[in-house]
Amino acid sequence: MVWCCGARAPRLEDEYELGAVLGEGRFAVVRHCTERATGDHYACKQILKEAGTVDDELRAEVEILRKVGVHPNIIYLHAVFETREHLNLVMELATGGELFERISKRGFYTERDAADVVMQLTKALHFMHEHGVTHRDLKPENLLYTDSSEGAQIRVTDFGLANLSKAGSPDELMRTAVGSPTYVAPEILANKGYGKEVDIWSLGIILYILLCGYPPFADSDMRALFRKIQAGQFEFASPHWTPISNHAKDVVRAMLQLDPRARITPAELLQNPWVRQETAPTEHLHGTVQNIQKMARNWRLRKAARAVIATQRMSRSANERQTLSSAIASSSKKISHAARASTSRVSSVLRRTLSMKGSTDGGQLGLTRMSSNGLARTDTNASSNAAPRGPRVDSSHNVASTPSASPERAVPGRVATELSTASALSSEPTARARGADAAGAQQTSTPLKATIAAEPLAVPSVLASEAYERPTAKTPAHTGVDGATPPPPAP
């Protein structure tokens, strides 16, 4: 991995040919790019820098990718190019599509296919956790296939919210509330500290959807959704779970344990017979594929709406940056012009004074000379009655210093707003809160935080909620723990 920055470093445009936009976020754009020297294809993530600097969170993301990007199920970071306004991450290009998009296009899908997905993701999590990395935003949108072939591997992407534990403190609790509503773990919502077990919870939610086509916790009201997640009670409702094996249900229960200490670990998952595809059935899950297809359509609508919002945000940020730069340049010109004019006037007055009195009153007036910067410097005669200039001294012989200038006001950036635990986590969080985890380690209770824009745009109705509606059963439902009747869909 190469980090290119500085005046003499090669430019991104010189090394790569930028192509079409592959995706957009609030403060980043992903573009297709081709390496000019080799013709190899990559994805370039262009992150808009705040105040023209690379903050510690962005550098931490790069460091995390450097540590874990060598695993076959984790996206690979190829090069980094830093400019005045952007941090450009050149990464492996995954062309096989997102996880659920891929499943929705398949003609045949079984439990064994779901077990294979869990096996690959568990290997990635086990490697990350062994290297002190917690992803904290595991969801289907961040899981991409390398290509469209039948045996393509899955890559875990988007480490913008990942946390790298300190050396020697692998079990230190994190305290920053981050994640996506449907997949967030209950201990994150509790604001009492959490560990790497949150990734297993998110993977359990993904497995639940892989088996039935809808999430275990769903509600159109975000507060109600969070209460359900914190209660940790879910059902295997009929008829959607009727064809699912008990082995698969046992794995789901082990991953969605409310107590993180009782939750199954990645090492244990890798030894599970169902995850190893030894006990996973091979019957086609027709109803599951239909439900996933419906979810995929909803995701496409939300993604299109987010792209519009992201474009507006980035355009507004660019305009604000340009306006600020123009104002600074204009002020600098005015100050420079005024300084030159003032210096010229002072020099003219001094020259006239010297020509009139320099030869007669040199003792009292003093000998005035011009310094190299054009300002007047006076060497006062020692016999002059004028008081010498210097620091003012009070009666106690202490030097009275003048008030220092006030520090330069920082350029306004993104505004962090405190939200209560009942508030919604951002579905695509913009805050990078790794630094806050270390700072907040001494806190015992902190409010749920999310970063929002200072001037939020109007959000389309399709983005009003990240919750999902459970498909309505068309056949008589059974009762019981594994066959509870699904609740009616949310209005």
CATH number at residue 49: 3.30.200.20
Phi/psi of residue 365, nearest 5 degrees: -70, -35
The reply to whether omega before 460 is within 30° of 0 (cis) is: no
Which residues lie closer than 8 Å to 41 by C-beta, 6 or more apart? Answer: 32, 33, 34, 35, 93
Facing residues of 53 across strands? Answer: 50
Beta strands in 333-397 (DSSP E): 367-370, 376-379, 392-393
Based on the domain organization, do 106 and 87 belong to the same domain? no
Inside any domain, residue 383: no
Helix (H) or strand (E) holding 3: strand 2-4
Inside any domain, residue 377: no
Please list the active-site residues. 137
Based on the domain organization, do 42 and 103 belong to the same domain? no
Inside any domain, residue 38: yes
Other residues' Cβ atoms within 10 Å of the Cβ of residue 39: 8
- d(CA 172, CA 92) in angstroms, rounded, equals 31
Residue pair 11/55 in contact by the 8 Å Cβ criterion = no
Based on the domain organization, do 232 and 251 belong to the same domain? yes
Based on the domain organization, do 237 and 111 belong to the same domain? yes
- d(CA 365, CA 381) in angstroms, rounded, equals 8
Binding site per annotation, positions: 45
Which residues lie closer than 8 Å to 7 by C-beta, 6 or more apart? Answer: none
Q: Tens-digit pLDDT profile for the chain (491 aa)? A: 556 655 567 889 999 999 999 888 777 899 999 999 999 999 999 988 875 556 777 888 899 999 898 899 999 999 999 888 889 999 999 999 999 999 988 889 999 999 999 999 999 999 999 999 999 999 999 999 999 998 899 999 999 899 998 866 777 899 999 999 999 999 999 988 999 999 999 999 999 999 999 999 999 899 999 999 999 999 999 999 999 999 999 999 999 999 999 999 999 999 999 999 999 999 999 999 999 999 888 766 666 555 555 555 555 555 665 676 676 677 667 777 777 777 777 777 777 777 765 544 444 434 334 444 444 443 444 444 444 444 443 433 443 333 333 333 333 333 233 333 333 444 444 444 444 454 444 443 333 433 323 333 333 333 334 445 566 554 443 333 455 545 444 44
Based on the domain organization, do 107 and 220 belong to the same domain? yes
Residue pair 164/434 in contact by the 8 Å Cβ criterion = yes
CA Rg value for the chain = 31
- d(CA 209, CA 140) in angstroms, rounded, equals 10
Residue 426's pLDDT is: 41
Based on the domain organization, do 258 and 237 belong to the same domain? yes
Inside any domain, residue 449: yes
Inside any domain, residue 313: no
Inside any domain, residue 263: yes
From 35, 67, 93, the end of a domain falls on 93
Based on the domain organization, do 222 and 281 belong to the same domain? yes
Domain count, the chain: 2
Based on the domain organization, do 80 and 114 belong to the same domain? no
Instruction: Name the nearest CA neighbour of 292 among 486, 102, 104, 490.
Output: 104
> Residue 255 sits in which domain range?
99-290+417-483
Residue 357's pLDDT is: 58
Phi/psi of residue 439, nearest 5 degrees: -70, -30
Based on the domain organization, do 163 and 284 belong to the same domain? yes
From 93, 115, 139, the end of a domain falls on 93
Q: Is 167 exposed, middle or buried (0-12, 13-18, 19+ CB in 10 A)?
A: exposed
**CATH number assigned to the domain comprising residue 441:** 1.10.510.10
Based on the domain organization, do 86 and 104 belong to the same domain? no
Which residues lie closer than 8 Å to 151 by C-beta, 6 or more apart? Answer: none
Inside any domain, residue 175: yes
Residue 58's pLDDT is: 83
Based on the domain organization, do 120 and 264 belong to the same domain? yes
- Could you tell me the pTM of the whole model? 0.66
Looking at beta carbons, which pairs linking 100-107 to residues 24 or more positions away fall under 8 Å?
100/140, 100/209, 100/292, 100/295, 100/296, 100/299, 101/296, 101/299, 102/145, 103/210, 103/289, 103/292, 104/289, 104/292, 104/293, 104/296, 106/289
- d(CA 446, CA 434) in angstroms, rounded, equals 15
From 78, 93, 108, the end of a domain falls on 93
- Look up residue 432 and give its two tokens: 């990078």
Based on the domain organization, do 282 and 202 belong to the same domain? yes
Inside any domain, residue 315: no
- d(CA 183, CA 296) in angstroms, rounded, equals 16
- Look up residue 92 and give its two tokens: 């492996």
